[in-house]
A and B are shown apart, each in its own frame.
Chain A
Amino acid sequence: MIHMRYLQLLKLASPEAVVVLTALVVLSIGLLAKRATFACAFVAGLGLVCAIVAVLLLPDDETLFGGMLVISPLTSLFKITCLALAFFTVLLTGGEKVPRHPGEYLALILLATVGLMLLVGSEELLMIFIGLELLGLSLYVMTAFDKTDVRSAEAGLKYFLFGSTASAFTLFGISLLYGMTGTTGLAAIATRLATTSIQPLLAVAIVMTLVGFAFKIAAAPFHLWAPDAYQGAPVPSAAFIASGSKVASFVVLGKIVLIGFAPAQGSAGWHSMAAGWSPVLAALAALSIVIGNLVALAQSNVRRLLAYSAVAHAGYTLIGFVAGTREGFSAALFYTTIYAVTLIGAFAVVGVVRRETGGDDFSNFSGLASRSPALAGSMAVFMLSLAGIPPLAGFFGKFYLFSTALQAGTNQALLWLVALGLVGSFVSLYYYLLVLKAIFVDVPSLSGAESMRHAPSDFLQCATVTVLAAVVVLLGVIPNVLASRILGAVP
């Protein structure tokens, strides 16, 4: 059993190894040349592209050390997704006002990416916990990275305190699971759980394990960090928290509940509630949809609005897991991928507006349509996609998600959750349109227009935003490109 073949391990873990090496190289470039922002970003981007190629070269199916490292079509697909999201985040850093230590910042993004890949590519609780912590610790530091800004440090500390409390819950839950099953591999846990009924201790273990993931996906009532982190963090950090971290957490949450806890599913149907993880997730979903949408109505800062809408979207995505079927899982993954692409684009626009006007309230967005039509048009695409307007990707994502949830279970048992999701979507249209009203209708105040520095918007930023908007439109027109691939990869 101990005869591990190190060369084989190195081959199978090559994408992670490439990213770690790139992080070290970027760190040393940053150490040698203090202001080499461009060189660092270039090397980081190159490393991420190399890692994507390395993922493509991996074999189809391989499992090492009882699930610690799993290579399957699903893990490869989402490793590529995470790397691509990290690549766009690196592009966003190019436009930021030069941070004091660009090398360290980019190295942190790369280390967080390794955390994402470990999370996605593992079906063993210890590795998942290590990935979770690697991701978390990198994100806390990335949030607090702007040392000159009070709000960045404050957001970092709040994110850290909530995050480490949640991960302590998860570790305690994992320890109870280990005690009851004697193993930490997800598949092995499932076989042990199949022979036992749900005891109180098992229920405690499941709920505690889920707390850490509910925190990571910002599901209510574990969402309190999200508005502060989204608003206070540097723009690329916020974009990465909202996209990469979410996607990987949903993948691993899905694997834990659908593979590991499969025998303890229970039921969340309106007339057929039964104990298990499914009613827990249903409660989280319902609470997130209600709280996220209602609180978002009252926001006047675009980043806080995106944060509360993120809570609501986490709720919609959880509906797919509650359905508990293969289609439900793939619908949830499709939805969260589209959501991640949309949010990176939205944060890129926020970044440009923030640089030009010095803030990110609604008033800072007024007149964006006349200043920069391309950015305004892209923002319209992102907001309407988040609201779920037909030709865009967000509509198809929601349609797919809600229809699979309706089909799951007998007698449309999840109708109550789907109805809640639909009402939530109607409410959300109002606040997304508020953002668009500020962009297209409101006239900027005179003082605001004068104080505006007429720096030409960075070409790279505009190109990035346009590409992301094009992706959102394309995935809305031909969603099958991604949806069939995800459905085919889900076991």
Chain B
Amino acid sequence: MYRIMTPTLPLVLIVSAALFSIGLLAALSRRHAIFILIGIEMMLAAANLNFIAFWRFAPPPHPSTGVMIAIFSIAISAAEAAVGLAMVIAVYRHYRTTNVDEYDQLKG
């Protein structure tokens, strides 16, 4: 019989902070454009998790602000992913690579 750990606010915040840090690390250290994009999406997901958690654990009369923001920001991050993928394809057509280190037409 497993005892399921009840989620508490600090626990969720630790998870979301970890998710954000992993996403940031991916965005900064990866050289592949798609992986950077995945890292950014993870950072946005961490923020959404925060909104839901703060809404869920708020004192009783909780208006649904947190959920509303999460829904909006999920839609926004979907749009962002679409634009990002389109951008990667546009660059890939010129360079034939997705390694961001090899994009070197602009420098200074």
Residue positions of A touching B, CB distance < 8 A: 126, 129-130, 133, 137, 140-141, 144, 147, 150-151, 153-158, 160-161, 164-165, 167-169, 171-172, 174-176, 178-179, 182-184, 227-228, 231-232, 298-299, 301, 304
Q: Which B residues touch A155, using CB under 8 A?
A: 106
Docked complex: B36-62 residues within 8 A CB-CB of A: 36-37, 40, 43-44, 46-48, 50-51, 53-54, 58-59
Whether B79 contacts A137 by the Cβ 8 Å rule is yes
Known A140-B83, A168-B23, A168-B44: A151·B65 in contact at CB below 8 Å: no
- Docked Cα-Cα span, A228 to B43, in Å, equals 25
Docked complex: B85-101 residues within 8 A CB-CB of A: 86-88, 90-91, 93-95, 100
With A154-B94, A168-B40 already in contact, 18 other A-B pairs whose C-beta atoms are closer than 8 Å: A140-B83, A147-B90, A153-B91, A153-B93, A154-B95, A154-B105, A155-B106, A156-B87, A156-B90, A157-B103, A160-B83, A161-B36, A164-B80, A165-B43, A168-B47, A169-B43, A172-B50, A179-B54
A sample of 11 cross-chain residue pairs with beta-carbon separation below 8 angstroms, ordered by A number, consists of A126-B68, A129-B73, A151-B106, A156-B90, A158-B103, A172-B50, A174-B69, A175-B48, A178-B51, A178-B69, A184-B69
Whether A144 contacts B90 by the Cβ 8 Å rule is yes
Whether A172 contacts B46 by the Cβ 8 Å rule is yes
Whether A140 contacts B87 by the Cβ 8 Å rule is yes
Q: Which B residues touch A172, using CB under 8 A?
A: 20, 43, 46-47, 50
Whether B105 contacts A175 by the Cβ 8 Å rule is no
Whether A171 contacts B47 by the Cβ 8 Å rule is yes
Q: Which B residues touch A137, using CB under 8 A?
A: 79-80, 83
Number of A-B contacts (CB under 8 A): 119
Which 10 A-B residue pairs are closest in the complex by CB-CB distance? A168-B43, A175-B50, A179-B54, A171-B47, A172-B47, A153-B90, A228-B106, A150-B94, A153-B91, A175-B47
Known A126-B72, A165-B40, A168-B43: A183·B103 in contact at CB below 8 Å: no
Whether B103 contacts A178 by the Cβ 8 Å rule is no
